[in-house]
Structure 1
Amino acid sequence: MPKAYVFTRYGGPEAEALVERDRPSPGPGEVLVAVRAAGVNPVDWKQRTGHRRPGGEPRPLPAVFGNEAAGVVVETGAGVTGFAVGDEVFGNPVDGGYAEYALLPVAVTARKPAGLSFTDAAALPVAAATAYDGIRQLGLPEGATLLITGAGGGVGVAAVQIARDAGLRVVGVASEGKKDFVESLGTVHVPSGPGLAERLRAAEPDGVDGVFDLVGGETLEEAASVLDDVTKLITGADRETVAKLGGTGVERARTAAVLDEVGRLAADGTLRPFVTRTFPLDRAGEALRAVEDGHARGKIVIEVAA
C-alpha cells in the first residue's frame, strides 16, 4: 500500500508516524498525482499543533503533512479539463503532500515547466507563491526600499529575489550565520536578535518604504519601528501582532495563475528556490525538525520518488 507521513493527533513530534493508506481517488475538479517531491514549510508543523487558517475546519485525523507537492498525474476526476494522465504538475494538495500519492485541486495546480526539476517545483506553491503575493500586495515603486525579516528562510529567499526583480532595494534581517547567504542575493544584511530596532535605524536612518515580515512577535514590532506608512506593513507569520500595529497579513491569491507565474520565474532563472537539503519520505520527521527549529536556510524538500 502507498505510504504517507501523518500526524495522528494534535501535539508535538510524538504524534507523527509513517503509515500505509489506500491510494486516494480524485473527486470532481481534482487530479491524483504520483508525488515526486514535497516542500516543507513552518505551516506543516504548526498544523500538527492545531493551527488552522481563520474560519478553517479541523482536519480529520490521521492527517497527511504537507502543503506543496510536485509529481505526475496518474488519474483525473470528473470535470477536469486542461490536465491529462502523464502531465508533470505542481500545486497545493487537498490532503497533504508527504505521501506517495496526493490529490491536487486543479484550481491551485500548474504544469511544471520542462526545465524545472520536481524538487525545485515542490518548493514553489507555498513559499514562492506567498512571496509573490506579498510583493504584489505592497506595490512599492521601483527604487523603493523593502525590509524583509526572515530573509534567509524559504519565503524570505523567494521574496528577496522577486523584490529585486521588481527593482526594489532590499534590507534583509537574518541570523549572523546567514549573512553571506542573504548578501549573495543582493540584500543589505542586518543581524536578527535583541537590539534589532537600533541596528535597523543605524543601517537605514531614513527608514524604509515597506516591511514584509516573516517572523512575527518582537521582530515584527522592531521592524515596524523604521516604517512611517503602516499600510506598507504586511506579515506572513503573525496576524495578531500586525493588526495591533496597523498592518495586515499577506493576502494570498491561491490561484493556478500565480503558480504559473512563479514557475515561469523559476524556469527562467529569475527565482532560484534554493533547496538546501532534501530527505527521503521515511525521514520526513527529520525534515520537519530542520524547519521547526527555525534555523533552516532556504528550502527543505522531501524527495518521494525518482
Structure 2
Amino acid sequence: MPKAYVFTRYGGPETEAFVEQDVPVPGPGELLVAVRAAGVNPVDWKLRAGYVRPGSEPQPFPAVFGSEAAGVVEAVGPDVSGFAVGDEVFGNPVTGGYAEYTLLPAAVTAHKPAGLSFTDAAALPVAAATAYDGIRQLGLAPGSTLLITGAGGGVGTAAAQLARHDGVRVVGVASPAKKDFVESLGAVHVASGPGFAERVRAVAPDGVDAVFDLVGGDTLRTAATLLDDPATLISVGDKQLVVALGGAAVRRARDAAVLQALARLTEDGVLRTRVDRVYPLASAGEALRAVEQGHARGKTVIDVVA
C-alpha cells in the first residue's frame, strides 16, 4: 500500500509517523495525483503543533503533512475539465503532499511546463504564491524600497526576486549566516536581532516605503516603526498584530492563475526556486526538522520517488 508521513495528534515530533493508506478517490472537482515531489513549509509543523486557524474544523487524525505537491494525474474526478490522466501538474493538495498519492483541487492546480522540474514545481504553490500575492498587494513603483523580514526563508526568497524584477530596491533582514544568500537575491542584507531597525536606517537613510513581514511578534512591531504609512505594512507572520498596527495580512488569491504565472516566471529565469535541500520521502522527518528549526535557506523539498 502507498506510504504517507503523518502526525497522529497535536504535539511535537513524537507525534509523527509513516503509515500505509489506501489510494484516495477523487471527488467532484478533484484530481488524483501520483506525487513526485512535495514542498516543506513552516505551516506543516505549525499545524502539527496545533496552531490552527480560528474557526477551522478539528483536524482528523492521522493527518498527512504537506500543502504543496507536484506529480502526474492518475484519475480525474467528476466535474473537472482541462485535465487528463497523464498530465503533469502542481498545486495545493487537500489530502497532504508527503505521500505517494494525494488529491488536488482542480481550481488550485496548474499544468507543469515541460521545462520545469517536479522539484521546482513543488516549491511554488505556498511560499512563492504567497510572495507573489504580497508583492502584487503592495503594488510598489520602481525605485521604491521594500523591507522584508525573514528574507532568508521560502517566502522571503521569492518576494525579494519578484520585487527586484519590478525595479524595487529590497532590504532583507535575516540571520548573519544568511548574508551571502540574501545578497545573491539582489537584496541588501541586514542582520536580524536586537538593533536591526538602526541597521536598516543605516542602509536606507531615506527610509523604506513598505514592509513585507514574515516573522511577526517583536520583529513586526519594530519593523512597523520604520514606516510613515502603516497601510504599506503587510504580514504573513502575525495576521492579528499587523492589523492592530494599521497594516494588513497578505490577501491570498489561491487560484490556478497565480500558479501559472509563477511557472512562467520560473521558466523565464525571473524567479529561481532556490531549493536548499532535497530529501527522500523516507527522510521526511529530517526535512521537517530543518524547516522547523530554521536551518533551511530558501526552499526544502521532498522527492517522493527517490
Q: TM-score range by the shorter chain?
A: over 0.9
1:296 Cα deviation (Å)?
Answer: 1.3
Tell whether the 8 Å contact from 1:68 to 1:91 is kept in structure 2 after alignment: yes
Please give the per-residue CA displacement for 1:211-268, whole angstroms capped at 9, x wherever unaligned. 0001111111111111111010000111122122111111000000001101111111
The aligned residue for residue 189 of structure 2 is 189
The equivalent residue for 2:264 is: 264
Q: CA deviation at 1:295?
A: 2.8
SS at match of 2:271: coil
Matched, 1:47 2:47: yes
**TM-score, normalized by length of structure 1?**
0.98
Structure-to-structure mapping, 1:51-66, within 5 angstroms:
51-66=51-66
Q: Which digits, 9 at most, give the CA deviation of each residue in 1:135-163, with x for residues without a partner?
A: 00011111111001111111100000111
- Matched to 2:101, the amino acid is Y
- Aligned partner of 2:277 in structure 1 is 277
Residue 68 of structure 2 corresponds to which residue in structure 1?
68
Structure 1 gap segments, 5+ residues each: none
Give the equivalent residue in structure 2 for 1:91: 91
Contact in 1 for aligned 2:171/2:200 (Cα 8 Å): no
TM-score between the two structures when normalised by the length of structure 2:
0.98
Give the equivalent residue in structure 2 for 1:140: 140
After superposition, the C-alpha distances for 1:184-211 in whole angstroms (9 at most, x for unaligned) are 1111111001111221222222210000
> In 2, are the aligned partners of 1:5 and 1:18 still within 8 Å (CA)?
yes
Q: 1:233 corresponds to which residue?
A: 233
Alignment pair present for 1:9 and 2:9: yes
Q: Does 1:202 align with 2:202?
A: yes
Q: Quote the residue 2:38 is aligned against.
A: 38
Q: Larger deviation: 47-56 or 37-46?
A: 47-56
Point out where structure 2 has 5 or more consecutive residues left out of the alignment.
none
Matched, 1:20 2:13: no
Cα distance per residue 1:253-299 (max 9 Å; x no partner): 00000011011111111100011101111110000000000231010
- State the AA in 2 paired with 1:123: A
Aligned to 2:158: 158
Report the equivalent of 1:290.
Answer: 290
**SS in structure 1 opposite 2:240?**
helix
1:47 deviation in Å?
0.4
Look up the equivalent residue of 1:82 and give its one-letter code: G
Residue 181 (structure 1) shift: 1.0
| Partner residue in 1 for 2:172 | 172
2:106 counterpart residue number? 106
Q: Percent sequence identity over matched residues?
A: 74
Distance 2:53 2:37 in 1: 24
CA contact (8 A) 1:200 1:223 kept: no
- CA apart distance, 1:54: 3.5
Is the counterpart of residue 212 in structure 1 residue 217 in structure 2?
Answer: no
Read off the aligned partner of 1:75 and give its amino acid letter. Answer: A
Q: Which moved more, 1:139-148 or 1:100-109?
A: 139-148
RMSD (Å) for aligned C-alpha atoms: 0.9
Decide whether the 8 Å contact of 1:148 with 1:160 is kept in 2: yes
What is the one-letter code of the residue matched to 2:60?
A: P
Q: Secondary structure at the match of 2:103?
A: strand
